[in-house]
Amino acid sequence: MRKIELEIVALSHSITQTHSYAVVLGEVNGLRRLPIVIGGFEAQAIAVALEKMQPSRPLTHDLMKNFMTAFLVDLSEIVISDLQEGIFYSKLLCISEHDTVEIDSRTSDALALAVRFGCPIYTYEHILDSAGILMEDTTKKKKSGGDAVSEPPTGKEDLKALSVEELTTLLNDVLEQEDYIRAITIRDEINSRSK
């Protein structure tokens, strides 16, 4: 299977759900996004590394990196390898002088390590097809004129009562607000209807 490279494009707090965060991975040179719901501690671990903050004592992922570095093990890449019942599975590809080992990992931990090691993040087409969101091409000019202004989504819409076209419009509105947690719910509703 061909690997598709991703990069972290956003880390957002859910507007509609407290204590929920989403790390949003974007397809390198593409328009697809892969939002992944993570916990607060995992979001903090990723944010600390993205912002290049230096805590006074090493966090768990810093400790892991220090341990690997001390024993001459390099993290060459991570692969988001599977999606089962809404749960993403990832693998760490670790290389030492004598061996290459693939290690199972939670995706949030894999991402926190990838940021620290500066290694690439990959996934496969079938995962982007089932869980990805296609963003509109913002390089195209948007029509301005007599279009009606739509109300911003409230988060209280009954998704089952909306048509696929209404869901798609709502999805675009929610993505503009960067509420990726809500976007995941809407995407899943659209996907459930296409099966």
Domain tally for the chain? 1
In a domain, 190, yes or no: no
In a domain, 105, yes or no: yes
What lies within 8 Å, CB to CB, of 41 at 6+ separation is: none
Q: What is the mean pLDDT of residues 147-175?
A: 72
In a domain, 155, yes or no: no
- Return the SS3 of 187: helix
In a domain, 116, yes or no: yes
CA 59 to centroid of chain Cα atoms = 22
pLDDT of residue 156: 53
CA 9 to centroid of chain Cα atoms = 8
Considering only CA atoms, give the Rg of the chain: 19
Q: What is the mean pLDDT of residues 100-108?
A: 97
Whether pTM > 0.85 for this model: the answer is: no
